[in-house]
Structure 1
Amino acid sequence: MEKALLIIDVQNGMFQEGNVVYQGDRLLQNLNDLISQARSTKTPIFYIQHNAPAGKPLEYDTKGWEIHPKITPNTQDVIIQKTTPDSFFNTSLDDELKKQGIEHLVIAGIQTEACVDTTCRRAFSMEYKVTLASDTHSTWDSQDITAQQIINHHNGVLRWFANVYPSKKITFDSPY
């Protein structure tokens, strides 16, 4: 079963001074570990890049919109543009995955309760096998609960839709 690594919305706008995504440095390190492993096994990597309206941190074609420089795509990686939390909705993602025979997605990125959650559920509904890297997605504190509580909650809930493993346990040359 062909796998791909799907990295959602890890863009400069998510690392703004004074409003950096929760444990942003650890997120980038874990992503780099997954990217290195994917590259070493020739596993395709898909970057999802959110295009926000003018004035937002991920406004299209601004510095905030660019993919974070610590996880820069290579020329063989695929970059998919989106405008909603669903990485499949009105995008070419499904077509690109099918072109490469991908049936299993390893999902990581930002924002846990929005784009990561929605994409996990949608991929499951589209009959992809899904693995969520439990320590390689992040968010911000909400008014009521902490970012860590949001992450923990989603790691539990998304078990209905994905295998949930820490990044160190994910390999691209095994079933999970």
Structure 2
Amino acid sequence: MTKALLIIDVQNAIVAGKGTPERQPLIDAALDETVARLAALRERAWHSGVPVVLVQHDGDPGHRLAIGTQGWEIRQELAPGSGDTVVHKKSADSFFETDLTERLTERSVTHLVVGGCMSQFCVDTTVRRAVSLGYNVTLIADGHTTADSGSLTFAEIVSHHNETLDDFDAGSALAIVRAAAEIQF
């Protein structure tokens, strides 16, 4: 089983302006903590020779993730390193109309360790799609985050997706949820 670390949409403006003035500092702090855990996991992946794939959402002009803007750039802590692969997408599904499958096939990847943003959109959709395509997935329980949405806080959304996606399966492929500290490469 060949693993890859897949980090989705950890871009400068991913949660910018998504919370109320009172909640935005909490959302930003949660993102910073998540980024720190993902950066540590990436270091472990690099030292283990595990491929790292960064997914970058390409927003249209005027979008907070508009291509070429500072908001679109991947966070400095996770900026692509030598040997990292960057996959560009325009929808919540990291596989839809991208070269992600080809990049994973080139590296004989069968198991994805997934983290990033936004839990209820791109992370959830990509995890479900990966499993349906036959990849085993480890979702990093404390390695994905989002902003508040409606009556739900970001912490409630993250918790819901951790509970919902743990033991999600399709055929013989399975998603499990583990804390970053428990993940082995």
- TM-score, length-scaled by structure 2: 0.89
1:45 to 31, 52, 63: 52
Q: Which residue of 2 aligns with 1:169?
A: 182
Separation (CA, whole Å) in 2 of partners of 1:55 and 1:67: 18
Q: Does 1:99 align with 2:106?
A: yes
Q: Contact (CA 8 Å) 2:34, 2:145: kept in 1 or not? A: yes
Q: Contact (CA 8 Å) 1:22, 1:138: kept in 2 or not? A: no
- Shift in alpha-carbon separation, 1:131–1:64, aligned structure 2, 3 A: same
Moved >4 Å (runs of 4+): 17-22
How big is the shift at 1:143? Answer: 1.6
* Matched residue SS, 1:106: strand
Greater alpha carbon shift after TM alignment, 30-39 vs 107-116:
30-39
How big is the shift at 1:75? Answer: 2.2
Q: Which residue of 2 aligns with 1:62?
A: 69
Q: Deviations over 1:131-156 (max 9, x none)?
A: 00000000011121111111000001
Greater alpha carbon shift after TM alignment, 18-27 vs 40-49:
18-27
- TM-score, length-scaled by structure 1: 0.94
Q: Contact (CA 8 Å) 1:21, 1:139: kept in 2 or not? A: no
- Shift in alpha-carbon separation, 1:28–1:128, aligned structure 2, 3 A: same
Q: Deviations over 1:123-174 (max 9, x none)?
A: 00000010000000000111211111110000011111411000000011xx
* Matched residue SS, 1:34: helix
AA aligned to 1:5 is L
* Matched residue SS, 1:151: helix
2:91 to 84, 101, 105: 84
Separation (CA, whole Å) in 2 of partners of 1:59 and 1:38: 29
Q: Does 1:150 align with 2:163?
A: no
- Overall identity of the aligned pairs, in %: 39
How big is the shift at 1:65? Answer: 0.6
AA aligned to 1:9 is D
Q: Contact (CA 8 Å) 2:60, 2:67: kept in 1 or not? A: yes
Separation (CA, whole Å) in 1 of partners of 2:89 and 2:111: 20
* Matched residue SS, 2:102: helix
Q: Which residue of 2 aligns with 1:13?
A: 13
Separation (CA, whole Å) in 1 of partners of 2:33 and 2:6: 18
CA-atom RMSD in angstroms = 1.3
Q: Which residue of 2 aligns with 1:135?
A: 142
Q: Contact (CA 8 Å) 2:113, 2:137: kept in 1 or not? A: yes
Aligned residue pairs, count: 172
Q: Contact (CA 8 Å) 2:115, 2:143: kept in 1 or not? A: yes
How big is the shift at 1:22? Answer: 6.0
Q: Deviations over 1:2-36 (max 9, x none)?
A: 00000000001125376454601210110111101
Separation (CA, whole Å) in 2 of partners of 1:120 and 1:8: 11
* Matched residue SS, 1:31: helix
